[in-house]
Amino acid sequence: MEMKRRKKPLFLRRDWNKKLKLGGRRKKLRWRRAKGRDAQTRLKRKGYSKSPGIGYGMPKAIRGLVKGKRPMAITEIADLEKLREEGEKSIGIIASKIGKRKRVEIAAKAAEKKLKFVNFNPEKFLEKIKEEQSKKKGGKEEGKEEKKTAEKGKEKQEKDEAKKVEEKEGKEKGESKEEIAEKREESKEEK
């Protein structure tokens, strides 16, 4: 005989629909026991939201199962071996505190062993990481090219400014453009 999960009502806080500060935020929607003297929920009146009780619990056989399997928290690579030993009985859940570097290692091993997780798809995760790395490499190369072009532009501007300054000085002295050009060539040869 296979047991099924029973549907149970959403246990929402009293007056969540009347007060914007309660209804608009998921965190504030969580159940809080009605304590008021005239609270209809506390009095369990018909038509008002249900309050949680012991009768709403799941049967022991299926309590705590996720997709019909026991969840197992994965925090390190050694846990993957335990998960593999359990086989079809359990399913993995990656802990949220795990960092990116360790996640990549776990994903690689899990993809190799073809393990399943509730909140994590190792193949998709590894693809995403590869894309990010390729973007970073591409971005660095583009940045180098932009810097080179910017440096070339600055050099060109400096040369143009130097030419203008020389021409102004030459005009003040009464020299022609040809004489200024000759002086410039002589100074280049000296350097």
Q: What is the dihedral of CA 49, 55, 57, 61, to 10 degrees?
A: -150
**CB-facing half-sphere around the CA of 148: CA atoms within 13 A:** 6
3-state class of 78 per DSSP? helix
Is 0.75 topped by the overall pTM? no
Tell me the residue length of the chain.
Answer: 191
The per-residue pLDDT for range 2-17, each reduced to its tens digit, is 677 788 888 988 888 8
The per-residue pLDDT for range 119-155, each reduced to its tens digit, is 989 999 999 999 998 888 776 655 566 666 777 777 7
By the 10 Å C-beta count (0-12 exposed, 13-18 middle, 19+ buried), 83 is classed as buried
Q: What are the residue boundaries of the structural domains of the chain, listed by start?
A: 1-63, 125-190
Query: At residue 189, does pLDDT exceed 50?
Result: yes
